[in-house]
Chain A
Amino acid sequence: EADIYQTPRYLVIGTGKKITLECSQTMGHDKMYWYQQDPGMELHLIHYSYGVNSTEKGDLSSESTVSRIRTEHFPLTLESARPSHTSQYLCASSGGTGPNQPQHFGDGTRLSIL
């Protein structure tokens, strides 16, 4: 199994709170990704990173922000949570230079905003 970890697994929190979802990988991968996935639906890329100090917005607009200060760490932050942010958030990473390298996924964080 891939060594990529997300915490928390589940979070139920009230509107207006600041939230940080953690993602760490121990594989030394340079590329990391955040996806948003509603239950039983497709994945939408919301952020990605080529490496340290490099972050880009994905294909789906998101009010969240990310940072990449260390290779192994790629946290996602919501400054003021709203019910529309309720979803599952998946973190992934990939290494190497070839496009045949698969993305390795974490277990995900199920976020529910009341």
Chain B
Amino acid sequence: AQTVTQSQPEMSVQEAETVTLSCTYDTSESDYYLFWYKQPPSRQMILVIRQEAYKQQNATENRFSVNFQKAAKSFSLKISDSQLGDAAMYFCAYRSTYRGGAQKLVFGQGTRLTINP
């Protein structure tokens, strides 16, 4: 079974600075998808960024980018120019590329990100 580990329960960063959230995973599969989700306090969980394992190029969405190291099974999220609205719980998630079934997500424990003004 796949597992996802986020070793940083809490992180903080000064507004406008850059922060990196760590995520490692364990799988025997060669192709899969990885996701970062953001859960603001008392608000809806939303997708931040996704990466397919067979693509070597790191995904980027505006101020959010990932550092995907397949051999190391590492998938970190970098947030540049941090804004107060980035404060949230961030969850790393894994999904198999198997097209049948429920396409379940396996979540990490989450990292609570605080932005200091």
**Interface CB pairs A-B, < 8 A, 13:** A33-B102, A33-B104, A40-B89, A42-B91, A42-B107, A42-B110, A48-B102, A48-B104, A50-B102, A99-B97, A99-B99, A101-B103, A107-B43
A100-B33 in contact (CB<8A): yes
Query: Does B105 belong to the interface (CB within 8 Å)?
Result: yes
Q: Cβ of A43: which chain B residues have Cβ within 8 Å of it?
A: 91, 107
Q: Cβ of B47: which chain A residues have Cβ within 8 Å of it?
A: 102-103
Given contact pairs A102-B35, A105-B44, A105-B46, A42 touches B109 in the complex (Cβ within 8 A):
yes
Interface residues of B in 69-117 (CB under 8 A from A): 89, 91, 95-99, 101-105, 107-110, 112
- How near does chain B come to A61, taking the closest CB pair, in angstroms? 16
Q: Chain B, 35-62, contact with A by CB distance < 8 Å: what is the 0/1 string?
A: 1010000011111001010000000000
A40-B112 in contact (CB<8A): yes
A41-B33 in contact (CB<8A): no
Partner of A56, one of B35, B45, B102: B102
A106-B50 in contact (CB<8A): no
| Chain B interface category by residue count | 20 to 34
Q: Chain A, 30-42, contact with B by CB distance < 8 Å: what is the 0/1 string?
A: 0101000000111
Partner of B102, one of A31, A42, A90, A105: A31
A99-B45 in contact (CB<8A): no
Give the docked Cα–Cα distance between A45 and B105 (Å): 8
- How near does chain A come to B113, taking the closest CB pair, in angstroms? 12
Give the docked Cα–Cα distance between A94 and B101 (Å): 12
- How near does chain A come to B21, taking the closest CB pair, in angstroms? 14
* Most chain B CB within a 10 A radius of its CB, from A56, A92, A102, A106: A102
Partner of A100, one of B44, B50, B89, B101: B50
B91-A99 in contact (CB<8A): no
- How near does chain A come to B104, taking the closest CB pair, in angstroms? 6
- How near does chain B come to A96, taking the closest CB pair, in angstroms? 9
Give the docked Cα–Cα distance between A98 and B95 (Å): 11
Q: Cβ of A48: which chain B residues have Cβ within 8 Å of it?
A: 102, 104
Give the docked Cα–Cα distance between A50 and B95 (Å): 16
Ranked nearest first, the 10 interchain pairs of A and B with the lowest CB-CB distance are: A105-B45, A102-B47, A48-B102, A42-B109, A43-B107, A99-B97, A42-B107, A107-B44, A99-B103, A99-B95
